[in-house]
Chains A and B, each alone.
Chain A
Amino acid sequence: MSLLKNREALLALAILVLLGLVTTRFAGFVAPSNLALVFNDTAPLMILAIGQMIVILTKCIDLSVAANLALTGMVSALLNGMGVPLVIILPAAILLGAALGAVNGLLVWKVGIPSIVVTLGTMTIFRGIIFLITNGKWVNAHEMTEGFKALPRAMLLGLPVMSWIAIAVILLATLALGRTALGRAFYAVGGNPHAAVYTGIDVGRTQAAAFVISGALAGLTGYLWVARYAVAYVDIAGGFELDVVAACVIGGVSIAGGAGSVAGAVLGAIFLGVIKNALPVVNISPFWQMAISGSAIILAVAFNAVQSRPKGRIILKSAEAR
């Protein structure tokens, strides 16, 4: 546990160093108002990374989050066009996202297909469905009501609602993972699925639950995304699923399952968010941004590998392994 805390502290430190470096070139970046902007800009990534982290905890992966977001976002925009009120659109988006996640979950649980294959398939299918229901047409800003677009940007106690929603998700997820039986089951299933079975935990059902949560959060983000950018089309958030996975990996979530924390996933997302927002203002080309994010991923994984290498008592371990 203390080890995990350590690496989160290390990541926080890395973010501070990064901010410090940026400040030497552009002091305005660390102004509180600008940091709030960066946080708000990173909110969708944080929400999705939390969902993804739960899925990865159970030894699975959800590549369909961005496509899920695009589909639920489009459906939200269409519902808005039909005059459905926002109080119905928001829950509907979350439910639709959860249902799409359940499709992934059931295929993993009941059919036993590896999650990477399932979600690679559904990721394409979800985008295909958007094309089918829109014929490839865009829903533009002037076709959306003001209320629909305003919610994520509405200010509350100095922060936009979108930021507050991200904060709420962070708190709820921390509570659910730390203080509920299901949250504990996610860790157990990823940490040792064989042992989990013997303690009466249904591994498949737990994995399916993780996909439903990830889907619901993608649905929520779908509305936020479309409302904030005031546009919906087939390709929104294209390739964003990789940023989400990257945030998790940088945040110390073990791809082998069983290890990870909400704080880690959030810090991983913030790290990527700072890079994305800071590098343009200090005149570093977007290609360097990609190289830096990529290096961060490899560094994080290398750090994980070194940390988790068994220390001492190796003779006994190998003798026990027979």
Chain B
Amino acid sequence: MQPVLSLRGISKSFPGVKALSGVQLDLYPGQVTALVGENGAGKSTIVKVLTGIYQPDEGTISVNGAETRFPTAEAAAAAGVTAIHQETVLFDELSVAENIWLGHAPRSRFGLIDWKAMREGARKLLTSIGADLDPDLKLRDLGIASKHLVAIARALSIDARVVIMDEPTASLSHKEIHELYELVDKLKSQGKAILFISHKFDEIFRIADRYTVFRDGAFVGEGRVSEVTESDLVRLMVGRSVDQIFPARAHNIGDEVLTVAGYNHPTEFADIGFTLRQGEILGFYGLVGAGRSEVMQALFGMTRPSKGAMRLDGQVRVVRSADEAIAAGIVYVPEDRGRQGAVKGLPIFQNVTLPSLPATSRNGFLRLAEEFRLTRHYTQRLDLRAAALDQDVGLLSGGNQQKVVIAKWLATKPRVIILDEPTKGIDIGSKAAVHEFMAELAAEGLAVIMVSSEIPEVLGMSDRVIVMREGRIVAEYSGDAMTPENLVRAAAGLETAA
């Protein structure tokens, strides 16, 4: 059988990062191909290449055997490639019919939009996928599952031949997931080629015909799902050559600093309990959406757990807000550096001293000299590259911005530092610096929690690893049990080897 869409030797680089190197991917009509890989394997990048958002640096794209290019998103859509994203990109304030037909609405004789044809067409498309939705409903009144249906109807309205589903079940309920499976079967029977991106092994084995595995931006294998086992796939995903060097660690683990017991939240997490010791790096691994960041935000006082207790140095502490957490000695370096980290427009030193202003003031007035001293001290330790300390943070590179954010927290002299995806999206050089610094912090007796979705980082840096899945702690590993296979299996909800 000839693939409807075929990629060969696709490479794509960003400054400092090679996102894809020479990958291949084939999609066949009437078949579901599962694209499998860890976070950072290049799945999102390939989707963007397929939908014309990124241009590959090298490689070819063939549709039905004929080589082509997707210079724009429109070109990809015209070739019949459409993507249904995790958070569906639709318009909340428009009706179902308008969402389906936006950009290619049927026209009346005078070039005006033919509302009647639009509604009827929408109804017909929705019926064909078994969705009983009123085309006049506003999209914002629909649930996520129904929005997916609208997105799929839209895909059909442009006569898509290739449908990309990027973690479509991530936010669906059990029943909705089953309806989605039926829909996928229906699309298969209509001869569509489907690319299904998922972290969940049960659904890969339930609906996929073929698989393709990426690892670190490279193609590592493909085949028929019926011919592999879960273990084979896990091995393909994680088996790697050691290409990242992690700093040597002195494991001087001291007394318990933080004890969390019975933390519950109505929607985000349940039964969270763990201990953290001085000088320890505790890794938190899990799939995106496993509730790791939510737990950390609760520890930091941003969200209130409904139940549970926290002890810091043996004392019960109630942390109701971020400034109370900072005062107690807990700091949280958030994941999204752009949104939650640096204040662009403010100079470096003002960013660094922002949570330490009471300490740098005297009689209610800030002392600039003290602010500069504090900033110089911590930015030098982090090897920050900046022209001057009163330079706007927004002008620094991503890695250097991250260093400013870390310096800001160190300046508060914390006991516990929580780093949420500390190296996400920064170049390799800056990554190594952050890792080295983390090791230094632990060596100085700080207790470090590192939330990370990158297995090498988790394994390379942590003394212990806690794995979370769907809001709960499902496993804890240390020593020889800290293997890539164990982490992936626990996070995906597979049985783990004892």
User: A residues touching B (Cβ–Cβ < 8 Å)?
Assistant: 1, 175, 178-181, 184, 187-188, 191-192, 194-202, 258-259, 315-316, 319-322
Q: A1: which B residues are within 8 A, CB to CB?
A: 347, 390, 392
Q: B398: which A residues are within 8 A, CB to CB?
A: 316, 320
User: Would you call B44 and A200 a contact (CB within 8 A)?
Assistant: no
User: Would you call A319 and B358 a contact (CB within 8 A)?
Assistant: no
A230 to B365, CA, bound (A): 39
Q: B325: which A residues are within 8 A, CB to CB?
A: 200
Residue among B14, B334, B346, B368 with max Cβ neighbours from chain A (10 Å): B346
5 further contact pairs, Cβ within 8 A, besides A184-B350, A319-B15 = A175-B365, A181-B361, A181-B366, A188-B350, A195-B342
Selected A-B contacts with CB under 8 Å, 18 pairs: A178-B366, A180-B364, A184-B366, A187-B346, A191-B343, A197-B302, A198-B300, A198-B322, A199-B354, A199-B355, A200-B321, A201-B322, A201-B323, A258-B346, A259-B345, A315-B14, A315-B15, A321-B338
Q: Mark B328-344, 1 if CB is under 8 A from A, else 0.
A: 00001010101111111
Residue among A180, A192, A199, A320 with max Cβ neighbours from chain B (10 Å): A199
User: B residues touching A (Cβ–Cβ < 8 Å)?
Assistant: 14-15, 44, 300, 302, 321-326, 332, 334, 336, 338-347, 350, 354-355, 357-358, 361, 364-366, 368, 390, 392, 398, 408, 425
Residue among B14, B302, B343 with max Cβ neighbours from chain A (10 Å): B343
Q: A192: which B residues are within 8 A, CB to CB?
A: 339-340, 342-344
User: Would you call B366 and A202 a contact (CB within 8 A)?
Assistant: no
A250 CB to nearest B CB, Å: 19
User: Would you call A194 and B321 a contact (CB within 8 A)?
Assistant: no
Q: B322: which A residues are within 8 A, CB to CB?
A: 197-201
User: Would you call B366 and A179 a contact (CB within 8 A)?
Assistant: yes
Residue among B339, B345, B365 with max Cβ neighbours from chain A (10 Å): B345
A195 to B335, CA, bound (A): 11
Known: A180-B364, A184-B366, A200-B323. A316 touches B339 (CB 8 A): no
Q: B324: which A residues are within 8 A, CB to CB?
A: 200
User: Would you call A191 and B366 a contact (CB within 8 A)?
Assistant: no
Q: A322: which B residues are within 8 A, CB to CB?
A: 44
B340 interface neighbour in A187, A191, A198, A200, Cβ under 8 Å: A198
User: Would you call A191 and B345 a contact (CB within 8 A)?
Assistant: yes
Q: A316: which B residues are within 8 A, CB to CB?
A: 14-15, 398
Q: B302: which A residues are within 8 A, CB to CB?
A: 197-198
Q: B344: which A residues are within 8 A, CB to CB?
A: 191-192
A179 to B343, CA, bound (A): 18
User: Would you call B354 and A191 a contact (CB within 8 A)?
Assistant: no
A1 to B15, CA, bound (A): 28
Known: A188-B346, A192-B342, A316-B15. A200 touches B361 (CB 8 A): no
User: Would you call A181 and B332 a contact (CB within 8 A)?
Assistant: no
Q: A321: which B residues are within 8 A, CB to CB?
A: 338
A199 to B332, CA, bound (A): 9
Q: B368: which A residues are within 8 A, CB to CB?
A: 179
B110 CB to nearest A CB, Å: 38
Shortest 6 CB-CB distances between A and B: which pairs? Answer: A200-B323, A181-B357, A199-B355, A191-B343, A192-B343, A200-B322
A309 CB to nearest B CB, Å: 12
Nearest A residue to B15, CB-CB: A316
Q: A191: which B residues are within 8 A, CB to CB?
A: 343-346
A72 CB to nearest B CB, Å: 27
A310 to B183, CA, bound (A): 44
Q: A259: which B residues are within 8 A, CB to CB?
A: 345
Nearest A residue to B350, CB-CB: A184
Nearest A residue to B390, CB-CB: A1
A195 interface neighbour in B321, B340, B357, B392, Cβ under 8 Å: B340
Q: A199: which B residues are within 8 A, CB to CB?
A: 322, 326, 354-355, 408
A258 interface neighbour in B321, B332, B343, Cβ under 8 Å: B343
A322 CB to nearest B CB, Å: 7
A103 to B359, CA, bound (A): 32
